[in-house]
Amino acid sequence: MTAEPGAQRRERVVPTGTYRFQIQGAFTFDDAAAQVAYVDSLGVSHAYLSPVLAATKGSTHGYDVVDHSRLNPEAGGREGFDRLTDALAERGLAAVADVVPNHMAVPTPASANRQLWSVMREGPASPFAKWFDVDWSVPDRALLVPVLGQRIGQVLAAGEISLDSSGAEPVLRYYEHVFPVRPGTEHLPLPKLVDRQWYRLAHWRVADEELNYRRFFDVDTLAAIRVEDEEVFAASHELLLDLLHNGRLDGLRIDHPDGLADPAGYLRRLRAATDRGDGGAWVVVEKILEGDEALVSDWACDGTTGYDALHVVGGLFLDPAGAAPLLAHYTTLTGDTADFHEVVDRAKREVVEHGLYAEVHRLVDLLVEICHADVDLRDHTRRGLHESVVELLVAMDRYRAYVVPGEPAPEESVRVVTAATERARHHLPAERHDTLQVVADLALGRGATDSVGDGVGSAAKQAEFVIRFQQTCGPVMAKGVEDTAFYRWFRLSSLNEVGGDPARFGVAPEEFHAYSSRMARDWPATMTTLSTHDTKRSEDVRAQLSGLSERHEEWHQALTSWREAAGAHREAELDARTEVLIWQSIVGTWGTQGPISSDRLVAYLEKATREAKDHTTWTSPDEAYETAVRRFVEGVLGDETLMAGVGEFVAALATSTRTAVLGQKLLQLVMPGVPDVYQGSELVDLSLVDPDNRRPVDYAERRRRLEALDGGGKPSDLDDEKLLVTSRVLRLRREHREWFLGPDATYAPVPTTTGHAVALARGDAAGARVIAVATRLPVALERNGGWGEHTLTLPEGRWRCALSGVTATDSSVRLADLLQRLPVALLVRED
């Protein structure tokens, strides 16, 4: 029997670098094991696995967990997982895994989720009733199950629901759906039997208005679980904690902690539970930081999953001078507003008033009960409370305010809610301002008095409101901004990324250094990333599009020309905004083999236009509009003359693309934090949003290229250059972790005489050991005469570039000499 890897280890493990594998039925644990030798040679210390627990049958992402007690059987189950971790251990590597504490799947059939099946069968008496956040106070005391294609009366009249008593227990069947039968009701006439269940079968459109369980965002098939309950936490984390304690896992990535009742409490409990005598496992959280927001300092974790780093690094390669011209061109062409925040406000309002109506309705019910219990607040009407909570939710610019019931609201939380209240005030008539203030005070835990009752019930309602208000802020932000507004405004689509602000254009080197210095001080083991399973465009698509910021006039001319030439392919239904997105997508994904395939682009645009909800939606697709989009895409991609022109334009972007691809990768890998490489992105990867970014990876090609480079071969193209940068930095990090992650690890900006080069140093108490240099804005650099006599100031010593072999000993080295072969350099001190 194979010994558990790392079972005796008590030193806290922090990865030096991770490689993301998307585990699923099409890429199993054994498939990942087959690539262990490769990722080892790449230089990572850990494989980073997408959720590994049993998920809905056929799931390609794993975030729809159905059974916390089993590893994904479609990916090979426990045996396959053990083979993978054994293979990692044999090479001195290990694994970290994604954890989904916020929700479970509502699968088809429902029996795949035994906890949910029990609740549906036995209602509040189920031993698993506490798992799910269900409001049993609704008139029929039934869990809403919105799966019917018609209203319930029509479905019953059509005979589409039937009782099946042929198995171990009677069940109700509706096409592929199977539901349990409440004991004692199986002999009732079918209409009465259906009515007497602990669940209410309903038309699918009822969900947004009457749903009575908390869900993940607006996804009815993902039911939130109450992980704040100790028993639920223990049961849902038992297997993962066992894998941590026996060394099969070294760390965890926590999915959407903002959805939990008490994120800080959850993370404290997790740290204690993962402590193997080493202070707890390495844990990073999927936290979307907005604007100047900082990660909450009392969270027991090592940092975020890296969207903040993604935006800071990517912003370095955008020319701020392109912001105004690109905006003018875009608004002139489309007629859209120049203010992106107007788009956000409108989108959030739509989401609050429609897609999240059920969540808002529950908040209003709580407010009505709270105010009714306090005679001083009783005259705040339901309508006024509804209008006020809607406006406050729309005005919140964060995923959460981090208020804990019974504790004084943190100063930052007060500031955030107060600022949102002021913004909301402008959208309400004067007579609602007092009501708005009541709602804001309650959101901050400033309770009402319950002047007519015993205070106990009202206090519980107030605590519930504090939690639920915060749990609703996240879905409003995610669905309103990321999944609506980001698909409606395309000055430069590469800026429309999770946690980003398309209205903000470019990052100065000083800002990058300030951010990196804060990370080195406060969150040295945070994760950094450029691509994830959730990014709307891969790092290299964004890099290619960044060149438009320097060539904005050429882009305007090209786009005007292409639109004129594409007239024959354009039908009346196609809007200018979507056409701009199409052209940007074609440019961003243009690779060495030419344009993206029509199948891939059409699939992406179906998602993009339905998320935008302007002309078509997921629930009410507009066939004429979607056909017009598809025909336009197929027409322009099949137009050889038109595509030749696009190819020439993309070729003109080559220098900017190369500079951004290599520069952002180098900085992400060297800056403070633990860098993650998303599967396949060690070569140029021109993928769009999922599922496009889960396409199979050609690992044989990657192994061949890496072996050639390791054998002394020179990079032959940008793929090789990116692989060279990735492997050399990852290996350096693993060999000298003390320069990057040790207690004495240091970070410092390195002076240059030009803003077209950004440089940083990593090292230890003995001084700088590694210096990374990246070129930025090459078009403006060339326009200004090139590097000329611009220099980089080096600390004393002998330095050698691990990428090009160039050596330097002088304290002032000419950038033209250092960057003659590549637009980046990785200098390692030799003495």
The per-residue DSSP string of 445-471 comes to T-----TTS-SHHHHHHHHHHHHHHHH
Q: Note the pLDDT of residue 75.
A: 98
Q: Note the pLDDT of residue 10.
A: 60
Going from the C-alpha of 704 to that of each of 46, 701, 731, the distances in angstroms are 22, 5, 18
What sign has the CA pseudo-torsion 368, 371, 372, 377?
Answer: negative
Q: Is 38 exposed, middle or buried (0-12, 13-18, 19+ CB in 10 A)?
A: middle
Structure tokens at 596: 């993206």
Residue 781 and residue 764 in contact, taking contact as beta carbons nearer than 8 Å: no
3-state SS, residue 492: coil
Going from the C-alpha of 249 to that of each of 280, 315, 760, the distances in angstroms are 12, 34, 32
Residue 109: asked if its preceding bond is cis (omega within 30°), the reply is: yes
Nearest-angstrom CA–CA distance, 486 and 69: 37
What are φ and ψ of residue 447, in 5° steps? -75, 160
Going from the C-alpha of 262 to that of each of 257, 258, 284, 402, the distances in angstroms are 9, 8, 16, 8
Q: Note the pLDDT of residue 447.
A: 76
What sign has the CA pseudo-torsion 26, 30, 31, 32?
Answer: positive
3-state SS, residue 160: coil
Tell which CATH architecture fits domain 110-223.
2-Layer Sandwich (3.30)
CA 52 to chain centre: 18
Q: Compute, in degrees rounded to 10, the torsion defined by CA atoms 734, 740, 742, 744.
A: 140
Q: Note the pLDDT of residue 1.
A: 32
pTM of the model: 0.95
Residue 257 and residue 101 in contact, taking contact as beta carbons nearer than 8 Å: yes
Give the mean model confidence (pLDDT) for residues 64-77: 97
Nearest-angstrom CA–CA distance, 601 and 589: 9
> Which pLDDT band holds residue 691 (cuts at 50, 70, 90)?
very high
Angle at 152 between CA 147 and CA 155, to 5 degrees: 90
> Which pLDDT band holds residue 457 (cuts at 50, 70, 90)?
low
Residue 373 and residue 458 in contact, taking contact as beta carbons nearer than 8 Å: yes
Give the mean model confidence (pLDDT) for residues 139-162: 94
Nearest-angstrom CA–CA distance, 86 and 44: 16
Residue 99 and residue 240 in contact, taking contact as beta carbons nearer than 8 Å: yes
Q: Note the pLDDT of residue 137.
A: 85
3-state SS, residue 242: helix
Residue 121 and residue 182 in contact, taking contact as beta carbons nearer than 8 Å: yes
pLDDT tens figures, 8-31: 546 789 999 999 999 999 999 999
Inform me whether the pLDDT recorded for 50 exceeds 80.
yes
pLDDT tens figures, 209-231: 888 888 887 888 999 999 999 99
Closest CA to 135 of 120, 148, 124: 124
Nearest-angstrom CA–CA distance, 716 and 216: 46
What are the contacts of 417-421 at 24+ separation with CB within 8 A? 417/392, 417/443, 417/444, 420/392, 420/395, 420/396, 421/392, 421/395
**DSSP 8-state assignment for residue 34:** T
Nearest-angstrom CA–CA distance, 801 and 167: 70
Q: Count the neighbouring beta carbons within 10 Å of the beta carbon of residue 288.
A: 23
Q: Note the pLDDT of residue 479.
A: 95
Tokens 């053990």, located at residue? 82
Q: Is 242 exposed, middle or buried (0-12, 13-18, 19+ CB in 10 A)?
A: exposed
Residue 681 and residue 539 in contact, taking contact as beta carbons nearer than 8 Å: yes
Q: Note the pLDDT of residue 522.
A: 96
Nearest-angstrom CA–CA distance, 194 and 357: 26
Structure tokens at 532: 């994830």
Nearest-angstrom CA–CA distance, 486 and 19: 28
**DSSP 8-state assignment for residue 693:** G
pLDDT tens figures, 458-468: 889 999 999 99
Give the mean model confidence (pLDDT) for residues 165-190: 95
Q: Are strands 757-764 and 746-749 parallel, antiparallel or unpaired?
A: antiparallel
Mean pLDDT of the chain: 95
Residues whose CB falls within 8 Å of the CB of residue 213, separated by 6 or more in sequence, listed in order: 132, 133, 134, 135, 143, 144, 223, 224
Q: Note the pLDDT of residue 540.
A: 98
Q: Are strands 46-49 and 18-21 parallel, antiparallel or unpaired?
A: parallel
The topology under which CATH files domain 18-102+227-305 is: TIM Barrel (3.20.20)
Q: Note the pLDDT of residue 450.
A: 62
Residues whose CB falls within 8 Å of the CB of residue 465, separated by 6 or more in sequence, listed in order: 363, 366, 367, 370, 442, 443
Q: Note the pLDDT of residue 452.
A: 53
Q: Note the pLDDT of residue 74.
A: 98
Q: Note the pLDDT of residue 181.
A: 97
What are φ and ψ of residue 722, in 5° steps? -65, -40
**DSSP 8-state assignment for residue 684:** -
Q: Note the pLDDT of residue 411.
A: 95
Size (the chain), residues: 831
pLDDT tens figures, 253-292: 999 999 999 999 999 999 999 998 889 999 999 999 998 8
The DSSP bridge partners found for residue 829 are 799
What are φ and ψ of residue 542, in 5° steps? -65, -40
What sign has the CA pseudo-torsion 587, 591, 594, 595?
Answer: negative
Residues whose CB falls within 8 Å of the CB of residue 229, separated by 6 or more in sequence, listed in order: 130, 131
Give the mean model confidence (pLDDT) for residues 369-397: 96
> Which pLDDT band holds residue 455 (cuts at 50, 70, 90)?
low
Inform me whether the pLDDT recorded for 602 exceeds 80.
yes
Distance between the two ends of the chain, CA-based, in angstroms? Answer: 46
Q: Note the pLDDT of residue 645.
A: 97
135-144, 420-429, 820-829: the lowest-pLDDT one: 135-144
Nearest-angstrom CA–CA distance, 495 and 292: 17
Q: Note the pLDDT of residue 723.
A: 98
Nearest-angstrom CA–CA distance, 471 and 56: 24
Inform me whether the pLDDT recorded for 485 exceeds 90.
yes
Inform me whether the pLDDT recorded for 705 exceeds 90.
yes
Tokens 């740290």, located at residue? 271
**DSSP 8-state assignment for residue 648:** H
Tell which CATH architecture fits domain 655-681+689-829.
Sandwich (2.60)
Closest CA to 324 of 556, 576, 653: 556
- Are both 18-102+227-305 and 655-681+689-829 of the same fold? no
Residue 795: asked if its preceding bond is cis (omega within 30°), the reply is: no
Tokens 């019953």, located at residue? 156
CA 377 to chain centre: 40
Q: How many helices (DSSP H) and strands (DSSP E) are in the chain?
A: 29, 25
Q: Are strands 94-99 and 65-71 parallel, antiparallel or unpaired?
A: unpaired
Closest CA to 363 of 275, 475, 205: 475
Tokens 């939690």, located at residue? 467
Q: Count the neighbouring beta carbons within 10 Å of the beta carbon of residue 127.
A: 11
Residue 226 and residue 130 in contact, taking contact as beta carbons nearer than 8 Å: yes
What sign has the CA pseudo-torsion 547, 552, 557, 563?
Answer: positive
| Residue percentage of the chain with pLDDT more than 70 | 98
Q: Give, for 50, the enclosing helix (H) or strand (E).
A: none
Nearest-angstrom CA–CA distance, 828 and 815: 16
Q: Give, for 738, the enclosing helix (H) or strand (E).
A: none
Give the mean model confidence (pLDDT) for residues 685-700: 97
Nearest-angstrom CA–CA distance, 618 and 611: 7
Q: Note the pLDDT of residue 6.
A: 45
Q: Where are the domains of the chain?
A: 18-102+227-305, 110-223, 341-482, 655-681+689-829
Q: Note the pLDDT of residue 2.
A: 42
Residue 608 and residue 577 in contact, taking contact as beta carbons nearer than 8 Å: no
